[in-house]
Structure 1
Amino acid sequence: MLPAQTRVASVTLRARDVGALGALYEDLLGLAREERPGGGAAYGGLVEAVPVSPGEPMPPHAHAPGLFHTALRYPTRAGLAAALRRVTEAGIHLTGASDHGVSEALYLHDPEGNGVELYWDRPADAWPRTADGRVDMYTERLSLESLLREDEPAGDGAPDVGHVHLKVSDLPRAVAFWVGVVGFEEQAAYGDQASFVSAGGYHHHLGLNVWHSRGAAPAPATSAGLDHLTLAVPSGADVEALAERLRAAGAPAELGPGGALRTTDPDGLGLAVLAEPA
């Protein structure tokens, strides 16, 4: 099992135009840009971008396994409201706005077509639950007018990556990997369509769905989209324990410089695991 303190540290995207992503992540959302070797960039240390592999660059593949969205979590409702105002003023089209019971969320796409969620969490003791105590997330319309009326100061609370939602080709196989091997716990399941898993009782650090990708083959290497997500765990011992579970399951487990672990899920989607700084 993953430690309760496990968190999503960042998401790394393969990009056709690294600089173009700055229009959203830097200019609109205020994530400071840092240059990375090889023409890459990091935005706030949360979203990193690397140039897509040589070849004919392709946009993210709509039906292949990959990124459904990266979810940036604001510490307060006022912070989310401030983000909505910036999005509205910039004329960015929202693809959705939902009340999930546990959270309020806005949905959009970045300049390369990657899904992005902006959200804040309600207090955990207010999350709806089923009779057996599991998180009971739902989807209802979020009133943007109500959110825009939020008049508390937004403060300077920067977002973090609250969760990542993946498109997978085979839901039972994905759950077997992310729960049975990586060590998340399933918090909510929606038939053969979607599963939401986490560490420490959070509503979800990872969403898995087959809504558009059931039975699909991996995207070509020249496709933009998800390169890998990075988890942070408390210690190097936690990294090594996960490496042992991966090896026992016959999954890749490569320990690199600084003790970073790299592997892939059954769809070939990348996962890096790092220990938190001492």
Structure 2
Amino acid sequence: MNFHRHPVTYVDQVHVKVQDLDRSVGFYEKVIGFKVLDKTERKASLTVDGKTALLTIEQPKNVTPKQGRTTGLYHFALLLPNRSDLANVVQYFAQIGIQFGSSDHLVSEAIYLSDPDGNGIEMYVDRNPSVWNWQNGEVEMAVDPLNFQALLSERTQQQWVGLPQETVMGHIHLHVAELRKTEEFYTKGLGFEVVCRFGSQALFIADSKYHHHLGLNTWAGVGAPPTPPNSAGLESFTLKLPSEEKRREIILQLKDLGASVEGEKDSYITVDPSGNRINLAV
């Protein structure tokens, strides 16, 4: 969990749009294991520790269904503190009949599903960084089958009690329109470094040698258009920066690249080359 605290730059919160707020609140409470921190007619903040929001869900006016072949959210990823926590989730999903995908990424073990609007969700646990394999500045990752027998041998709960309080937003993975300008924006602008490349279609970037704080791919198609403002999908995500000085430095770097930065005092928003909105928080 040291990759998601000061002085690392990391994804702190994610904000998604949905078609039916009450339906989504029910899903995120009963299936994923969040608790409602705050709720209005059109927006709800969800928490695991009862104090800070990890996920915000919002129902826009005149909302339309999530569209395919656009930029935006591929998935957001909830990092669980222990392998036993992932085992408990898998056992619970099996009990209530939730279908999900899975993968062993070498650096982590993960399962995948979507919310009722098709917003992608990953739930994962990291392997100890001491066993991550780094070569020439890149970390080795794979898409191998998950060993469920070994995983489930570590389950500790007979009854599901929700997400552990130490759960954090581990990373976000985005559909983007192209990779060259996108890489420049996230590295020269936001200060991340590329830690893994998947051919010419995806790259993974991080701070402080994490396996990735952001994934970026063109799997929705090179030149894919942004998600319409009132459709279900990603509204924005928040990067937590270590200091006000670091934020000022990043704002200058972004402006040097020609990227837009709007806001003042405690609220600054920038937009990547594919239209993904990013809150710059300290």
Which of 94, 104, 112 does residue 109 from structure 2 map onto?
Answer: 104
Query: What is the rounded CA distance, in whole Å, between the counterparts of 1:4 and 1:158 in structure 2?
Result: 18
Which of 148, 155, 158 does residue 152 from structure 2 map onto?
Answer: 148
Specify the SS of the correspondent of 2:200.
Answer: coil
Pairwise CA distance, 1:79:
0.8
Specify the SS of the correspondent of 2:260.
Answer: coil
Aligned residue runs from structure 1 range 226-245, under 5 A: 226-245=234-253
Which digits, 9 at most, give the CA deviation of each residue in 1:16-70, with x for residues without a partner? 1122222332222321112245620011111101222x33x22222210010000
Q: 1:38 to 1:179 in 2, by over 3 A?
A: farther
Pairwise CA distance, 1:147:
1.6
Which digits, 9 at most, give the CA deviation of each residue in 1:215-234, with x for residues without a partner? 11122222110000101111
| Unmatched tracts of structure 2, length 5 or more | 1-5, 48-52
Query: What is the rounded CA distance, in whole Å, between the counterparts of 1:148 and 1:59 in structure 2?
Result: 36
* Counterpart check, 1:87 vs 2:87: no
Which of 69, 82, 88 does residue 75 from structure 2 map onto?
Answer: 69
Specify the SS of the correspondent of 1:72.
Answer: strand
1:32 maps to 35
Query: What is the rounded CA distance, in whole Å, between the counterparts of 2:38 and 2:85 in structure 1?
Result: 26
Q: Percent identity?
A: 34
Aligned length, in residue pairs: 268
Aligned residue runs from structure 1 range 155-234, under 5 A: 156-234=164-242
Specify the SS of the correspondent of 1:26.
Answer: helix
Which of 42, 46, 55 does residue 45 from structure 2 map onto?
Answer: 42
* Counterpart check, 1:261 vs 2:265: no
1:138 maps to 142
Query: What is the rounded CA distance, in whole Å, between the counterparts of 2:54 and 2:30 in structure 1?
Result: 15
* Counterpart check, 1:113 vs 2:121: no
Contact 1:4 1:199 survives alignment (8 Å) = no
Equivalent residue letter for 1:273: L
Specify the SS of the correspondent of 1:241.
Answer: helix
Equivalent residue letter for 1:66: G
- State the TM-score, normalized to the length of structure 2: 0.89
Specify the SS of the correspondent of 2:177.
Answer: coil
Pairwise CA distance, 1:76:
0.6
- State the TM-score, normalized to the length of structure 1: 0.90
Equivalent residue letter for 1:17: D
2:50 maps to none
Equivalent residue letter for 1:134: E
C-alpha RMSD of the superposition: 1.9
Query: What is the rounded CA distance, in whole Å, between the counterparts of 1:29 and 1:97 in structure 2?
Result: 16
Q: 1:51 to 1:156 in 2, by over 3 A?
A: closer
Query: What is the rounded CA distance, in whole Å, between the counterparts of 1:152 and 1:135 in structure 2?
Result: 31
Specify the SS of the correspondent of 1:242.
Answer: helix
